[in-house]
Amino acid sequence: MKQNTIASLGLVAFLVAGCQGTSTTESHTMGGAAIGAAAGGILASGGGGMTGVEGALVGGVVGGLLGHHDGKQKQENQDLRAQRDAAVQEANTRVVNVKNSNGSSTPVTLHRVGDKWQGPRGEQYDSVPTESQLKPIYGI
């Protein structure tokens, strides 16, 4: 029984070592497998018709599946937050192209700051400024 417990703990150590430098989903899969292997090994070593190694393997598979599902959900939530943040950033940014006397144009990126729009030099406007408002500052 002691050898089975040692084998189970060795399997857990191997699985936990594999969690370093992986994605959220992979990390949760490996973490779930490690926890499941440990739980399965401990429960099986107390009886129940399985050896500690068998219990660790069964627990590792079940824990891995649960951990994978949890990691996938967390990754999806993280992706949704990133998409939402990008949409908010886009909604609070405008680019006004100022036509120059030489035929070129200068793009001026404005950002919403509170209820005002701020230009690259820190100047603020009550609404998105027009090209003619920006030309004296950014035109060539």
pLDDT tens, residue order, the chain (140 aa): 455 555 555 555 555 545 555 666 677 777 777 777 777 766 666 666 677 677 777 777 777 777 777 888 888 999 999 999 889 888 899 999 999 999 999 999 999 999 999 999 999 999 999 999 999 999 88
> Any residues with CB less than 8 A from the CB of 65 and at least 6 apart, and which?
32
Mark whether 78 and 131 lie in a shared domain: no
CB 63 within 8 A of CB 33: yes
Mark whether 12 and 81 lie in a shared domain: yes
pTM: 0.49
Q: Which domain holds residue 130?
A: 92-138
Mark whether 56 and 80 lie in a shared domain: yes
57 Cα distance to chain centroid: 30
Domain count, the chain: 2
Mark whether 104 and 80 lie in a shared domain: no
CB 15 within 8 A of CB 57: no
Mark whether 104 and 71 lie in a shared domain: no
Mark whether 81 and 38 lie in a shared domain: yes
